[in-house]
Amino acid sequence: MTKQNRGIGILYILGAAAGFACMNLFVGLAGDLPTMQKVFFRNLVAAAVVFFLLLADKQKFHIKKGALPWLLLRAGAGFLGVVLNFYAIDNIGSISDASILNKLSPFFAILFSMVLLKEKPKWWELVFVAVAFGGAMCVVRPSFDARVLPALAGFLSGACAGLAYTAVRILGIKRERGNMTVFFFSAFSTLVSLPFFIAFYTPMTLLQLLYLVLAGVSAAVGQFFITAAYRHAPAKEIAVFDYAQVPMAAILGFFFLSELPDMWSYVGYAIIIGAAVLKWLVTLLSEKRARKKEPQNEGNLQNAGDALQNTDQTLQHADETPQKSEK
């Protein structure tokens, strides 16, 4: 992978962060509407866009063998995560607080990978998970009253997203198409939220409708940008830049929603983002060291091979010497 591809991947993932930050903003601007009404529009736009992309694909709506259970898990966990995230956006008091709690998903993905993929994380990965959860407590600030529910919803949205991303990894192993995964999730979420949308429909102004459509468009843009980002560079090298969504959301919330997180929220942001950055750096350094050891191992194997070859030649020469003597 070239530095140019890595740079393009970073630009794409920053675009995705901007898209999801704008989605959170438009959800907040839509005002006092039922959460399911917002969820419906968020997924309807993405489902419509990917529907036409799949129509142009040779495989159409074909699902790979063995992928359906994981598509259902990804869709179910993703849908619940979106519902909890939107509830947090509407009630937590700051879209940046909701964003940072949702961004706990990579740390939850490490835990879910232990169960679903039988992966054994390194000890330092578990340390960073614990640090990130400690930072989340600064944002959540647990208490024994109803005020903690929006923050708890944001925390659980990160858990659901982590489970959904683990299912996406398994779908990648099974070689399921990315567009099919996005469409299944979007269509599933649209259909599940539809009965709630009808039952609890609240009349909207034209401006509110526009905000919800823009939320759906922003979510679709974010989804396509993040897919493009990971086509240009591995997730381990660029995923940390997705945390740019948090300061973006804080800036948008301040200017458009007059939101200002408190000191403890900023402390939590610093701890969680710091844990993510340190985990990223340690991962890159450990892999760099592993790559340096590989040539040495190859050299040792080559030396061993040369030594064996020299030994064979010596033995062969020793066998030929008596024959010359006999002559």
d(CA 320, CA 324): 7
Tell me what pLDDT residue 288 has: 84
Q: Please give the distance of CA 134 from its chain centroid, rounded to a whole number.
A: 20
Q: How far is CA 257 from CA 61, 89, 250, in A?
A: 41, 12, 10
Q: Residue written as tokens 């919803």?
A: 153
The parts of the chain modelled with pLDDT lower than 70 are 1-3, 144, 294-327
d(CA 103, CA 157): 9
Using DSSP, state whether 221 is helix, strand or coil: helix
CA angle 9, 121, 231 (to 5 degrees): 15
d(CA 248, CA 264): 18
Contacts of 129 (CB under 8 A, 6+ apart): 107, 110, 111
pLDDT digits (tens, 9 = 90+) for 192-228: 999 999 999 999 999 999 999 999 999 989 888 887 8
Tell me what pLDDT residue 305 has: 52
Q: How far is CA 293 from CA 62, 184, 208, 280, 304, in A?
A: 44, 43, 58, 20, 17
User: What is the identity of the amino acid at 31?
Assistant: G
Question: Phi/psi at 262 (nearest 5 deg)?
Answer: -85, 180
Tell me what pLDDT residue 1 has: 52
What global pTM score does this model have? 0.83
Supply 76's token pair: 């179910």
CA angle 127, 233, 13 (to 5 degrees): 80
d(CA 126, CA 102): 19
- The 10 Å Cβ neighbour count of residue 11 is 16
d(CA 200, CA 33): 10
* 285 CB-side CA count, 13 A: 7
CA angle 158, 160, 161 (to 5 degrees): 65
Q: Residue written as tokens 């974010």?
A: 222
Tell me what pLDDT residue 78 has: 94
